[in-house]
Chains A and B, each alone.
Chain A
Amino acid sequence: MTTNLTMFWLLSGVILVFSLLTIFSKRILRAAVSLLFVLVATAGFYFMLGYEFMAGVQVTLYAGGIVVLIIFSILLTSHVTHKFDKPLLANLLLGGGIAVLGSATAIYTILNHTFVPSTEPAITPDMHTIGHALLSVDRNGYVLPFEVISVLLLAAMIAGIIIARKETKQ
């Protein structure tokens, strides 16, 4: 067994176990920490695939930003020692049934589909390539989605401030 394969099994084990803990943990703060582990293990996947920039974005934005935001909102809205009630058995069975059926269908399809890889030479996405692609207007450029995303982020930031601020009485 090679190092890569060992690493893959380790990361996927971490992802699956901590995804389940995120969903079924009794305490909400532990669920958030499990989510952090899932996101960091996903960043490990990206490193294995050779997308270092994407892995860095994953760690800083997801694991650094979103999880901290979620933990803050947990601390603002619920008591740390608060425990969830047991989920309804009907919901548990319904969700489990949907999950098992859906994943069985998807995995069956994945295993029976022949993937045809392209034979063209691979390019390694270093910072230079990524920066040029993000800001170029030619065929493989992404300047339009880049600008749309920046406007969206600005709008989301303003919306977050407007919605979450305390209403002042005139």
Chain B
Amino acid sequence: MHEIPLQYILIVSTLMFFIGVWGFIVRKNLITILMAIELILNSVNINFLAINRFLYPHHLEGHFFGLFVVAIAAAEASVAIAIIINIYRRFTTINVENVSEMKH
């Protein structure tokens, strides 16, 4: 494991993070935006675990933080998808440009 420098992993997760940001800006479909958010969360998780393993191997803080991030991502995805399905029922589209008014 230790022949891989920490910097390599951090660079990969940085690139993944900014690909997610790019997708967040470019895409107009709500589900694709949700997938971009998942990419961002995932890259941050890689950072937590890699820094935990390389710099503080006698602790487990990063590991547990990553675990909680995964749980929160699951909660967020389920609520977001419920909202998306509800929006689709009202507007028959999930394009963010066409969904700009609230019902009440």
Are B66 and A54 in touch, CB under 8 angstroms?
A: yes
Are A98 and B22 in touch, CB under 8 angstroms?
A: yes
Are B31 and A115 in touch, CB under 8 angstroms?
A: no
Are B94 and A66 in touch, CB under 8 angstroms?
A: no
Bound CA–CA A15/B17 (angstroms): 11
Bound CA–CA A80/B90 (angstroms): 21
Given contacts A42-B42, A94-B25, A117-B55, contact A23 B19 (CB under 8 A): yes
* Residues from 21 to 66 in A contacting B, C-beta threshold 8 Å: 22-24, 28, 31-32, 35, 38-39, 42, 45-46, 48-51, 54, 57-58, 61-62, 65-66
What distance in Å separates the Cβ of B74 from its nearest Cβ neighbour in chain A?
6
Given contacts A73-B81, A164-B85, contact A156 B31 (CB under 8 A): no
Residues of chain B at interface, number, CB under 8 A: 70
- How would residues 133 to 156 of chain A score, 1 for a CB under 8 Å from any chain B CB and 0 otherwise? 110000010100100010011011
- A residues within 8 A CB of B25? 91, 94-95, 98
Query: 17 A-B Cβ contacts within 8 A?
Result: A5-B4, A8-B9, A16-B15, A31-B32, A38-B42, A48-B4, A70-B81, A84-B27, A100-B18, A110-B11, A110-B14, A111-B7, A142-B64, A145-B64, A145-B68, A152-B71, A164-B82
A73-B84, A110-B14 known; 15 new pairs, CB 8 Å cut-off, are A16-B12, A24-B23, A32-B35, A39-B42, A42-B45, A69-B81, A70-B77, A74-B31, A99-B18, A117-B57, A120-B57, A149-B72, A152-B75, A156-B76, A160-B81
Chain A residues near B (Cβ < 8 Å) = 2, 4-5, 8, 12, 15-16, 19-20, 22-24, 28, 31-32, 35, 38-39, 42, 45-46, 48-51, 54, 57-58, 61-62, 65-66, 69-70, 72-74, 76-78, 84, 87-88, 91-92, 94-96, 98-100, 102-103, 106-107, 110-111, 115-118, 120-123, 125, 129-130, 133-134, 140, 142, 145, 149, 152-153, 155-157, 159-161, 163-164, 166
Chain B residues near A (Cβ < 8 Å) = 1, 3-4, 6-12, 14-29, 31-32, 34-36, 38-39, 42, 45-46, 49-50, 53-60, 63-64, 66-68, 70-79, 81-86, 88-89, 94
